[in-house]
Structure 1
């Protein structure tokens, strides 16, 4: 299972903790951009794929067979389809919605943004009166499925929703939107003028989503009630190459079909079926039984072994902006003390976790990640671990000095608080359960106990992680081409109700917030990278979010499937996905 969350922020991937990688004969695409993406090599000499390459069996659309149905698994049958809400901020939700909703920019293999002419004629940044101003000119052919032209009204409604947490709008992250001063009509209804109070370097991440939907119709989301409920168990209005055909909660499938009203290049496929299967082993079996056309392998040697030799199948490898981590709830009584969190950081053998999670996955070499913004193969990556290296003795000494005393059961306690932590996980996810056992063994060495607590996969985020009903857990984040603005919400303070995307729920990190503010306002990319790394160093010391490793993208697909696989830093273009025969 690969449940994942997102917004302007990173998405959270719950279950399997790794994307896919490819090993066979699929084609590589994506040229190299100057300075974008280096090779990350680990101790064994094998390299993580460079950030400027991906593996999607790229083919010209003219060579593909017209029509057909693509069937793929999702990990859960979502209830909330507004990606910008807390409970809708999940990877599979975003994947489904990306077939039907506006994508203002496409992103190439290096993560560079390119205006999507289906929705925008242009998007230009200028400085007016000392302020950053972005002007969007909307393609006049662009319309919502109810026939309403996409206009400035939709941008205004999305903006007001994103900054409306205190007015009852359920918002996963307001990063970037909270730096806007105004969103207004320009020369006509298809011209939008956005003025920023302070510069925002990642302005191209606004009103669009990497692999999702970031612009919703004003007719549906202008009020808090509409924002929160219009897309609850429904997808009423869309604007993409596909439209909703049916949602079936009994079979847990969502089917989208080619939209005849679509004004852009016509999709190759007639239909895409998303089928919820919350166990990755069952997904692998379904793929081998030809019930699925694609399978996201994840960091599972068992699943990799199941599909690596499948007939008429190709494995695809890429290294994208996705990473696995351990999150601690800083509001839990046992984890309020930073000394405890730092001791856990030092006591967990992360290399062992990476080695176990990623063993026997083809050429991918397990490499520890020591950054919350940049993955190992990405421009800007640097090791920010500092003094929190793996050191069980140091962890024990720090806990002793802080007054955490071991009881007769070997578990430390202080002032009536016992270091007995509830590890919440989605049931049936072997990777997460294995991690729990490794972390439990590691923490026993420093007098901390872990109790594994499996929960229903559909409830994992909505009823546990998002509302702070856990002590410690592990899942993955699916990133996007905007590492600074997407990474910020995970480590920002949560005094402000807008910042509910911060799963560790850290409420007192003013120095981190100040560093993030500077990074988000840097218009010079080099300086933004430097400031983001400074923020990350401070976040390391807060020790609430422990990176494990860059999550390999490994997908198995039918060998005849083209323009789909392991995308790396590139987004989906659903109009180009199809079969060669």
Structure 2
């Protein structure tokens, strides 16, 4: 699902061709749902002010990764841009609050509740009597029914990406009046609040042709504070303008322009005024921070500055290597342009929080040594997850707390740290598990026969055969950012149609970052490596697959640190760099890896959204293995049963308890190890308010705008307020 709010959980059906080994997990206790839920680790940072302090009018230029391929959020190639547009122009019955929990959206709902449970679950929606589509027609039961029929999975002519929840609806009918909608379920459905968010008009959902093609490049009928004025693929723009029929508080902005800007061009766009708001990588965040304090100018002073000094200054400011190597004239020009941009960037600031998504270490349990649960558990027990979190988050000033759940993040109702089901870092226990699995130190290793390939490429090589030059050291540098990370649920475009409840694996922010990550103060010195382990003449060697894009520094740094931790218990790794384009499809989804790093978004509805991620793989009709989105191929019947029970109970406390129990068993199976919550860095013009790093919360588009002259914003993101200036 979109991490910006309650939105479509876009999906992809993924079938691998490898068999998974059976895994037995003992009964494990989990935290009770009556325990106090921790707060989000980081508050949203949006410079919040009262609407009265926001100027009327203006255009917000919002840099995005790409123009959406479709504006239909229920199609397979929907992405983060699709969700962003849908949030601004379409109804959502529920939205997420600052803790990532669904709450009724008063713009569309007076109330929504379960009014019957026997013999069937019935939900009654009472709609806001002012809610109308932009063509003047009331929002009503006909729209709900059309969306249900399109997404129920009963008509294959609709090219839908998901049907979870909609496939449990038995009928939809008008209530006591036009403002009431009765939804009757054939089976109990705990996550009913996930439905009809967004809600499309019957014009879009009414026929397969309208659904499949009609809403890809535009939306003629909308019902939000904004409407879609233009989708211009040539100019790479989506233009949203005020909706004149909007019945709520009028949008402060006249216009929002979503413009596609490559991440390595965003600092330039912010400096020249072609962007007012943009997600940025840590290198640009650092640069914007320096702009606020000014930067030393090596061009000032009498006489000519030596080329040596210019080059040293350029290297210190992360200039392009080609510029650094250039002659004096070209280098002086590049530095002059940089300083001009720095001056312009003094009007920009970075707002930061944590995304509702986490990075994990995935262990492919379908083959090789990791098919043995004891080896997977040994890998997990060798990791210092707190050190890994510090490596990424401490340089950014964000809380470096390891994620303790696969199914929720701190602040959400279902969150509990269940990592004790697997155990904390313990190298001795890791070695004992490996010994129990038959891996012994210093065992004989058979040389590969002639014509056979080694287990993987040498450390430092890419799949393309590139190798580091003589004397070149492997770097362990992190920019603390999103480079090279792959996140499910946002903007990976793919073909095919999915099953209910699935989510995308998508790429985000694979771009360069600030150098100089460090082991935080207090980090212990590296322990001596254990002797290599072997079994049956074969070494314990794991292939660690990573993307090789220009911005993969963070993942590379994390992988290097993980490899060092594993080496201390006798596990060797080979790091295999592959192209960004093939990383997911040809390696993660197909199971061509032993270890990998990618990210999942958290969901407000884990019983629905996370089941396909952890479901036990089953044989498909064609003899392949249907893994859904369980790319580690590790699953158990117990976990499946707990998800099924959680999806059908209408007792919220019981659902939370079941989700936590499922998470404890997922930890015990050691198919994936959550590491850290992802940083969220958003550069904004300083006078732009009610916008920035939203964290869990759905943005309120009608409140975004530019601060009135003379108004001031509190500096604290957690207690930000504003008052008129003198």
Q: TM-score, normalised by structure 2?
A: 0.63
Q: What does residue 316 of structure 1 align with?
A: 351
Indicate conservation of the 8 Å contact 1:410/1:447, yes or no.
no
Indicate the RMSD between aligned Cα atoms, in angstroms: 4.1
Indicate conservation of the 8 Å contact 2:288/2:349, yes or no.
no
Helix, strand or coil: the match of 1:167? coil
Whole-angstrom distance in 1 between the partners of 2:381 and 2:694:
34
Which among 433, 438, 449 is matched to residue 574 of structure 2? 449
Helix, strand or coil: the match of 1:568? coil
Larger Rg: 2
Helix, strand or coil: the match of 1:55? coil
Deviations 1:402-423 (CA, angstroms, capped at 9, x unpaired): 5789665576899999853543
Instruction: Rate the CA distance shift 1:460–1:171 in 2: closer, same or farther, 3 A.
Output: farther
Whole-angstrom distance in 1 between the partners of 2:265 and 2:75:
29
Matched pairs, number: 535
Give the unaligned 5+ runs of structure 1.
13-33, 41-47, 209-213
Which among 202, 209, 216 is matched to residue 200 of structure 2? 216
Residue 343 of structure 1 and its aligned partner are, at CA, apart by 4.7
Q: What does residue 529 of structure 1 align with?
A: 656
* Bigger mean CA offset, 425-434 vs 571-580: 425-434
Q: What does residue 97 of structure 1 align with?
A: 86
Whole-angstrom distance in 1 between the partners of 2:543 and 2:583:
20
Instruction: Rate the CA distance shift 1:360–1:218 in 2: closer, same or farther, 3 A.
Output: same
Question: Superposition pairs for residues 359-374 of structure 1, below 5 Å?
Answer: 359-362=394-397, 364-374=398-408
Indicate conservation of the 8 Å contact 2:635/2:669, yes or no.
no
Whole-angstrom distance in 1 between the partners of 2:550 and 2:91:
34
Question: Superposition pairs for residues 115-126 of structure 1, below 5 Å?
Answer: 115-126=104-115
Helix, strand or coil: the match of 2:673? strand
Residue 358 of structure 1 and its aligned partner are, at CA, apart by 1.3
Q: TM-score, normalised by structure 1?
A: 0.77
Query: Is 1:295 paired with 2:278?
Result: yes
Residue 534 of structure 1 and its aligned partner are, at CA, apart by 0.5
Deviations 1:340-378 (CA, angstroms, capped at 9, x unpaired): 54454445543343222213212x231111201222344
Instruction: Rate the CA distance shift 1:81–1:562 in 2: closer, same or farther, 3 A.
Output: same
Whole-angstrom distance in 1 between the partners of 2:3 and 2:361:
15
Q: What does residue 70 of structure 1 align with?
A: 60
Instruction: Rate the CA distance shift 1:225–1:72 in 2: closer, same or farther, 3 A.
Output: same
Which among 701, 704, 718 is matched to residue 577 of structure 1? 704
Deviations 1:82-101 (CA, angstroms, capped at 9, x unpaired): 3233432x434312321122
Whole-angstrom distance in 1 between the partners of 2:634 and 2:641:
14
Q: What does residue 515 of structure 1 align with?
A: 642
Query: Is 1:306 paired with 2:301?
Result: no
Helix, strand or coil: the match of 2:701? coil
Query: Is 1:176 paired with 2:165?
Result: yes
Indicate conservation of the 8 Å contact 2:408/2:606, yes or no.
yes
Instruction: Rate the CA distance shift 1:243–1:475 in 2: closer, same or farther, 3 A.
Output: farther
Q: What does residue 141 of structure 2 align with?
A: 152
Indicate conservation of the 8 Å contact 1:3/1:75, yes or no.
no
Which among 243, 268, 272 is matched to residue 256 of structure 2? 272
Deviations 1:453-480 (CA, angstroms, capped at 9, x unpaired): 1224xx876x568954764543433435
Residue 234 of structure 1 and its aligned partner are, at CA, apart by 4.8
Helix, strand or coil: the match of 1:123? strand
Whole-angstrom distance in 2 between the partners of 1:235 and 1:432:
38
Which among 666, 671, 680 is matched to residue 544 of structure 1? 671
Query: Is 1:254 paired with 2:238?
Result: yes
Whole-angstrom distance in 1 between the partners of 2:608 and 2:75:
17
Which among 171, 178, 192 is matched to residue 203 of structure 1? 192
Instruction: Rate the CA distance shift 1:271–1:320 in 2: closer, same or farther, 3 A.
Output: same
* Bigger mean CA offset, 558-567 vs 139-148: 139-148
Give the unaligned 5+ runs of structure 2.
13-33, 293-345, 448-453, 457-533, 621-625, 709-726
Q: What does residue 109 of structure 1 align with?
A: 98
Instruction: Rate the CA distance shift 1:172–1:390 in 2: closer, same or farther, 3 A.
Output: farther
Which among 540, 557, 561 is matched to residue 434 of structure 1? 557
